[in-house]
């Protein structure tokens, strides 16, 4: 056998699978009596479905009215601020205590002390609070762009 020469594919080709013929079902013409019975069954089924749909609509309307009354009662309670069972939050440091270094503010000792006190207050209010929620709350209180530079 020579290299780099195509071989005759007929020697390696598989035989085609035999084609299957579909058997067709023969429909028998139905007389008027059986089609009349089928019509009655179809109408009975349709009326049963219509009744089921009507019950579902009524149940959905009842549930939606219950949800609307719950939403109204919940919205009334939202206006009341939540009562904290822990200590009050500490007073944040004053703005004039900020120190600017290289275009950014650095944390002062009073801001570090405030952050520690505020995190302790958050933990006293909710001992299962996550670190990301504490960080977001602290950022909301302190705000601004800071860089951590030890003085």
Q: Which residues of the chain have pLDDT under 70?
A: 1-2, 26-33, 70-86, 94, 96, 143-151
Task: Output the CA–CA distances (angstroms, integers) from residue 135 to 7, 53, 73, 125, 140, in the order listed.
Answer: 72, 51, 33, 15, 8
Tokens linked to 121: 């207050």
The predicted structure's pLDDT at residue 43: 94
- The SS3 assignment for 75 reads helix
Beta-carbon contacts of residue 117 (< 8 Å; ≥ 6 apart): 90
The predicted structure's pLDDT at residue 58: 93
The predicted structure's pLDDT at residue 125: 86
> pTM for the complete prediction?
0.37
Q: Dihedrals φ, ψ of 138, to 5°? A: -65, -40
- The SS3 assignment for 146 reads strand
């Amino acid at each position: 056998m020579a290299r780099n020469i195509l071989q005759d594919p007929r020697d390696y080709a598989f035989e085609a699978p035999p084609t299957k013929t579909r058997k067709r079902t023969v429909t028998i013409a139905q007389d008027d009596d059986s089609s009349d019975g089928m019509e009655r069954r179809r109408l009975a089924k349709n009326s049963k479905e219509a009744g089921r749909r009507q019950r579902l609509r009524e149940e959905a309307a009842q549930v939606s009215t219950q949800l609307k009354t719950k939403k109204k009662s919940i919205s009334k309670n939202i206006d009341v601020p939540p009562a904290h069972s822990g200590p009050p939050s500490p007073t944040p440091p004053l703005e004039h205590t900020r120190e600017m270094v290289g275009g950014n503010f650095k944390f002062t000792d009073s801001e570090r002390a405030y952050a520690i006190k505020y995190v302790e207050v958050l933990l006293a209010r909710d001992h299962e609070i996550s670190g990301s929620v504490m960080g977001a709350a602290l950022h909301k209180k302190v705000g601004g762009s800071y860089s951590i530079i030890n003085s």
